[in-house]
């Protein structure tokens, strides 16, 4: 890296510290905007899928085991073991359930902050132009999808940090011509966090083995050992604890249906994301094929392409309709921003090099243009993909999913008041409602019900037309969940399935409470009937 003047170095560090402080302020404001209000009581809650993991974590911390229902069947309804363990540690703190989510959000905020430092290091490793590092950190710090998934409780922030750190350690080791085993330890932890981290981990292993022939054997052994060893350990543990080699979520999302249909929908989802976010900006780093042909760039590209490929393979995510990068692609967007910023830096260098007589104002002007371009890029990446995106990104509106969380938390607290602790409740959203009601629940969508998870999906999708395809949200069977299991309360139904559910609701009485319909089984002894509102 070129030696910088004292003045330039001071400006760089002041700007970098300013960015990090601005991110922390934004992240804290974001967390405050996720607070839900239930009859005047502020409650911290996460995105509902994250709260499914919290339900497992709560029971584990209480000594009930890694189960969704205390004392219930052992079913692995999560795909993030390490994150569940971290959430379990939060539940050991002497805080009420209304505050546990805040601590999970703070852990994610710390992960995102540390990740910015890793992105700074990666950018500095690739370019001597300090503006490149500032732009990469700037784009990453305020990229809404990454912040949204992480600060609403998903493991995305930690997954991103592990991958970025492993990459930085690997690139520094390449520069110093030695092998770095800790990078593979981090990749192994990534697989423990989420099994699908195996995709970028193995791609990175292959890229490093090709780039670094002197240590090729060690790269391959360490990569295969870290990924394969972690997967083997997880599989053996599952067999012993859950009696199944795969998590229930695998059967729910991938175990049934056409692979061709799923992958074609994944491609369509990817194209929709790129197109809505301005595909030309995503194509910009292709300029590195001309401007910078160093092999080291392949390490970043391999991780990005593998993770994007995984997103395509699983058909995208269930919340593509909210816009922006889904939770799989968001993991590698910081690496993309490093390449994007490096490309801008290389363009600046190429323009300056082409000037035979460089006037004194040329370099400051071109760098100013780079800064303006970075600002416009940030707007493009955050505001083109969804309606009202600017207001959501700037926190004028509450982040996506918060209104749903508020509804489900309120429903959980309502049912806690209207039922005895022995009551069973059928739910379509399996996170906040069971967590705050603290009642045994029946999952209509099958995340923690192996019977539903192994059934065919209800689909009206076709090749390249997603239709109603939402991985993990297209399976239900009311004849089983309501007709056979007979919950005391049916709190929710799948969208537009009222007619399908009617034959199984004949034994239930409908009550509308707070504008929300609930169905109470007429002969249930676990309902406080005297507390129910009078019917019209």
More confident site: 1 or 304: 304
The pTM of this model reads 0.95
Q: Determine which helix (DSSP H) or strand (DSSP E) holds 204, and give its type and residue range.
A: helix 198-211
Residue 256 has pLDDT above 80, yes or no: no
More confident site: 255 or 104: 104
Query: If you count them, how many residues does the chain have?
Result: 536
Distance CA 333, CA 470 (A): 22
Model confidence at 207, pLDDT cuts 50, 70, 90, reads very high
Q: Which residues pair with 440 in a beta bridge?
A: 424
Residue 2 has pLDDT above 80, yes or no: no
Q: What is the mean pLDDT of residues 376-400?
A: 87
Is there a contact between 14 and 141 (Cβ–Cβ < 8 Å)?
A: no
Q: What is the mean pLDDT of residues 207-225?
A: 97
Q: What is the mean pLDDT of residues 124-136?
A: 94
Is there a contact between 66 and 241 (Cβ–Cβ < 8 Å)?
A: yes
Model confidence at 1, pLDDT cuts 50, 70, 90, reads very low
Q: Determine which helix (DSSP H) or strand (DSSP E) holds 53, and give its type and residue range.
A: helix 48-61
Q: Which residues pair with 512 in a beta bridge?
A: 517
State percent of the chain over pLDDT 70: 98
pLDDT score, position 367? 82
Give the strand pairing for 36-38 and 41-43. antiparallel
Crossing angle, helix 48-61 and helix 402-418, to 10 degrees?
50
Distance CA 496, CA 182 (A): 50
Q: What is the mean pLDDT of residues 148-159?
A: 98
Helix (H, G, I), strand (E, B) or coil at 440: strand
Q: Which residue has the tokens 């969940």?
A: 481
The structure tokens listed for 36 are: 């839900």
Distance CA 249, CA 252 (A): 5
Q: pLDDT digits over 159-173, tens only?
A: 999 999 999 999 999
Q: pLDDT digits over 433-478, tens only?
A: 999 999 999 999 999 999 999 999 998 887 778 888 888 899 999 9
The structure tokens listed for 476 are: 């239900």
Looking at every residue in the chain, the average pLDDT score rounds to 94
Helix (H, G, I), strand (E, B) or coil at 422: coil
| Residue 356 backbone dihedrals phi, psi, to 5 degrees | -65, -45
Q: What is the DSSP letter of 322?
A: G
Distance CA 37, CA 288 (A): 49
Q: CB 110: neighbour CB atoms within 10 A?
A: 15
Q: H helices within 242-323, ranges in order?
A: 248-253, 259-276, 279-283, 288-291, 297-313
Residue 46 has pLDDT above 90, yes or no: yes
Is there a contact between 129 and 345 (Cβ–Cβ < 8 Å)?
A: yes
Residues 6+ apart with CB under 8 A from 530: none
- Of 395, 407, 479, nearest in space to 444 by CA: 479
Q: What is the mean pLDDT of residues 388-396?
A: 90
Is there a contact between 143 and 381 (Cβ–Cβ < 8 Å)?
A: yes
Residue 426 has pLDDT above 50, yes or no: yes
């Amino acid at each position: 890296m070129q030696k910088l003047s004292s003045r330039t170095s001071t400006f760089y560090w002041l700007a970098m510290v300013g960015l990090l402080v601005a991110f922390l302020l934004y992240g804290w404001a974001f967390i405050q905007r996720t607070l839900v209000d239930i009859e005047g009581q502020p409650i911290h809650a996460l995105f509902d899928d994250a709260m499914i993991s919290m339900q497992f974590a709560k029971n584990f911390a209480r000594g009930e085991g890694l189960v969704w229902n205390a004392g219930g069947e052992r079913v692995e309804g999560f795909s993030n073991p390490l994150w569940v363990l971290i959430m379990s540690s939060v539940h050991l703190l002497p805080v009420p359930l209304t505050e546990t989510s805040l601590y999970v959000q703070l852990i994610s905020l710390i992960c995102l902050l540390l990740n910015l430092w890793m992105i700074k290091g990666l950018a500095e490793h690739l370019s001597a132009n300090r503006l490149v590092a500032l732009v990469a950190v700037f784009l990453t710090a305020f990229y809404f999808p990454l912040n949204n998934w992480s600060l609403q409780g998903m493991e995305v922030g930690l997954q991103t940090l592990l991958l970025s750190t492993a990459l930085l350690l690997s690139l520094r080791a390449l520069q110093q011509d030695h092998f770095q085993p800790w990078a593979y330890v981090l990749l192994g932890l990534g697989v423990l966090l989420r099994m699908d981290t195996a995709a970028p981990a193995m791609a990175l292993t292959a890229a490093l083995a090709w780039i670094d022939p002197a240590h090729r054997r060690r790269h391959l052994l360490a990569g295969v050992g870290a990924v394969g060893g972690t997967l083997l350990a997880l599989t053996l543990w599952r067999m012993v604890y859950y009696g199944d080699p795969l998590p229930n979520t695998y059967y729910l999302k991938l175990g049934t249906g056409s692979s061709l249909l799923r992958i074609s929908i994944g491609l369509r989802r990817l194209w929709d994301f790129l197109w809505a976010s301005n595909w030309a900006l995503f194509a910009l780093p292709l300029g590195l094929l001309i401007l910078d042909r160093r092999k080291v760039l392949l390490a970043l590209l391999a991780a990005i392409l593998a993770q994007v490929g995984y997103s395509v393979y699983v058909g995208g995510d269930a919340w593509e309709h909210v816009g922006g990068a889904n939770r799989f692609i968001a993991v590698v967007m910081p690496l993309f921003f490093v390449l994007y910023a490096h490309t801008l830096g290389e363009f600046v260098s190429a323009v300056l090099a082409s000037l035979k007589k460089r006037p004194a104002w040329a370099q400051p002007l071109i760098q100013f243009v780079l800064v303006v371009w970075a600002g416009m890029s940030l707007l493009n990446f955050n505001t083109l993909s969804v309606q009202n995106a600017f207001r959501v990104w700037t926190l004028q509106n509450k982040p996506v999913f918060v209104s749903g969380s508020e509804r489900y938390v309120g429903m959980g607290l309502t049912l806690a008041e209207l039922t005895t602790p022995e009551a069973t409740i059928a739910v379509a959203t399996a996170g906040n409602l069971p967590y705050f009601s603290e009642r045994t629940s029946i999952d209509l969508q099958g995340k923690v019900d192996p019977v539903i998870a192994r059934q065919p999906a209800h689909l009206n999708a076709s090749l390249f037309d997603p239709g109603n395809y939402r991985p993990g949200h297209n399976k239900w069977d009311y004849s089983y969940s309501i007709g056979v299991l007979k919950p005391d309360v049916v709190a929710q139904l799948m969208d537009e399935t009222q007619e399908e559910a009617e034959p199984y609701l004949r034994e239930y009485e409908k009550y509308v409470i707070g504008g929300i319909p609930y169905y109470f089984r007429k002969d249930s002894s676990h309902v406080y009937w005297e507390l129910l509102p009078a019917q019209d």
